[in-house]
């Protein structure tokens, strides 16, 4: 297994998705040469139990400042794979971190913080969406360096996280499950044949996919966009499966995409940071996260800069990540 030779550095590993990725790596520490997290002094003080868990598992805790170039360079030099799960507030730091990684030899593998919508291809409007701009800048930067052979990258694209997507949390619109009210909110037409499919991934599966990608033969994840999912379903299928799992009927509440767009516009005009959640939900319900029409992997053609399919290269990806029926995925989140 390629993993036995790897030295893995996790950054942003104490955040929402980073925590889960870290939890996937900790039981595997012995199978890697080195596993470490790079975190801030603030986090060391505020998340003492997690830090103790990391150390107890045999991983290292490196404390520093991502804004300190010399320190980051010295740290990155000791690893061959850097996995970023930095939050939206820190995505703008990534081009600088990638430049540092690319200045080191031999070339590092870098997993930028993605874990969301397929920002380049899905749908065609995605490249213009505000929440995607920082990730697009990261992609442009790392791909230019990858074409020069200075770094390699892997994007893990997940669609919405099921853990939050399934549950109603948008103010002003019923979207997803509200257990207390026994309702399920759907944005879009009542006619299932007119509903778009949505692909999404649980936190735990996202972590499994990242671990699997790291352990896969390096060529199969080199300069790759990997689309992963725990489920692909229409909202009406989700509703049915929720009813099966809960053993009771849920009252469907339908809202139109226009209602969601109006709320998104109002949030945007009020400069409310929560607008991002409205934008992403709108993209998902418009069909912007349907991976069923897409290959699991696209690879950078270093000559043309285009992303291309390579079914032979990708055929064995993620065989170690079990596919579960939708009901099992739902059970993990709501029971
Ligand atoms: N698909 C979805 O539904 C969905 C939903 C939410 C997020 N995402 C994506 O998942 C990725 C990670 O997001 P997240 O919500 O898991 O991250 P998060 O919890 O906001 O933060 C992750 C970690 O980043 C580090 N960090 C360092 N400087 C930071 C700064 N200035 N601002 C924020 N974080 C900073 C912190 O770790 P240390 O203190 O250890 O350095 C923090 O715990 C992003 O790319 C985001 O777009 C996807």
Beta strands in the chain, from DSSP E residues, in sequence order? 7-11, 34-39, 60-63, 81-84, 108-111, 151-157, 176-178, 183-187, 198-200, 224-227, 231-233, 251-255, 297-300, 307-308
- Could you write out the DSSP letters of every residue in 62-108? EE--TT-HHHHHHHHTT-SEEEE---GGGGGGHHHHHHHHHTSSSPE
Q: Which ligand 1 atom sits closest to the C-alpha of 159? A: 1
The predicted structure's pLDDT at residue 122: 72
Q: Of 108, 135, 150, 234, which is the active-site residue?
A: 135
Q: Residues of 289-300 as b/e, b for ≥16 C-beta within 10 angstroms? A: bbbeebbbbbbb
What is the pTM assigned to this prediction? 0.97
Helix/strand/coil percentages in the chain, nearest 5 = 45, 20, 35
| Distance between Cα 31 and ligand 1 center (Å) | 27
The predicted structure's pLDDT at residue 46: 98
Nearest CA to ligand 1 atom 42: 15
Angle at 249 between CA 248 and CA 251, to 5 degrees: 145
Calculate the alpha carbon distances from 331 to 4, 121, 241 in Å.
34, 31, 10
The predicted structure's pLDDT at residue 4: 46
Cβ–Cβ < 8 Å for 229, 237: no
135 counts as catalytic: yes
d(CA 234, CA 291): 12
Q: Which ligand 1 atom sits closest to the C-alpha of 165? A: 3
Q: pLDDT per position in the chain (335 positions), as tens?
A: 444 459 999 999 999 999 999 999 999 999 999 999 999 999 999 999 999 999 999 999 999 999 999 999 999 999 999 999 999 999 999 999 999 999 999 999 999 999 999 998 777 678 889 999 999 999 999 999 999 999 999 999 999 999 999 999 999 999 999 999 999 999 999 999 999 999 999 999 999 999 999 999 999 999 999 999 999 999 999 999 999 999 999 999 999 999 999 999 999 999 999 999 999 999 999 999 999 988 999 999 999 999 999 999 999 999 999 999 999 999 999 99
pLDDT tens column, 188-231: 999 999 999 999 999 999 999 999 999 999 999 999 999 999 99
Give 69-72's long-range contacts (Cβ < 8 A, gap of 24+).
Answer: 69/96, 69/100, 72/38, 72/97, 72/100
DSSP tag of 151: E
The predicted structure's pLDDT at residue 3: 41
pLDDT tens column, 152-164: 999 999 999 999 9
Nearest CA to ligand 1 atom 43: 15
The predicted structure's pLDDT at residue 108: 97
| Distance between Cα 19 and ligand 1 center (Å) | 10
The predicted structure's pLDDT at residue 5: 56
Pocket residue to mutate for ligand 1, from 15, 89, 94, most atoms within 8 A of Cβ: 15
């Amino acid at each position: 297994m390629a993993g036995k030779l790897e030295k893995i550095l996790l950054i942003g590993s104490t955040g929402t998705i980073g925590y889960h990725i870290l939890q996937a790596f900790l039981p595997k520490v012995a199978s890697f040469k080195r596993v470490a997290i790079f975190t801030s002094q603030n986090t060391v003080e505020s998340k003492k139990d997690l830090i103790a868990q990391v150390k107890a598992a045999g991983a290292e805790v490196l404390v520093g400042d991502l804004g300190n170039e010399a320190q980051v360079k010295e740290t990155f030099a000791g690893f061959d794979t850097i996995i970023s799960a930095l939050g939206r507030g820190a995505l703008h730091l990534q081009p600088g971190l990638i430049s540092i990684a690319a200045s080191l030899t031999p070339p590092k593998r870098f997993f930028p913080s993605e874990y969301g919508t397929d920002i380049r291809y899905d749908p065609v409007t995605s490249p213009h969406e505000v929440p995607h701009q920082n990730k697009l800048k990261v992609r442009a930067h790392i791909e230019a360096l990858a074409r020069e052979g200075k770094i390699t990258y892997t994007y893990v694209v997940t669609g919405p996280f099921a853990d939050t997507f399934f549950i109603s949390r948008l103010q002003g619109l019923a979207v997803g499950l509200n257990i207390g009210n026994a309702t399920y909110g759907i944005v879009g037409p009542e006619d299932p044949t007119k509903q778009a499919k949505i692909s999404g991934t649980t936190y735990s599966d996202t972590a499994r996919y990242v671990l699997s990608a790291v352990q896969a033969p390096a060529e199969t994840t080199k300069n790759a966009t990997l689309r992963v999912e725990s489920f692909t379903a229409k909202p009406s299928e989700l509703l049915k499966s929720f009813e099966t799992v809960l053993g009771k009927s849920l009252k469907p509440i339908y809202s139109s995409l226009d209602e969601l767009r109006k709320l998104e516009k109002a949030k945007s005009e009020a400069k409310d940071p929560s607008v991002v959640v409205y934008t992403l939900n709108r993209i998902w319900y418009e069909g912007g996260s349907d991976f069923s029409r897409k290959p699991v992997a696209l690879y950078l053609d270093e000559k043309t800069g285009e992303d291309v399919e390579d079914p032979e290269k990708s055929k064995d990806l993620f065989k170690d990540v079990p596919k579960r029926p939708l009901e099992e995925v739902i059970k993990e989140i709501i029971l």
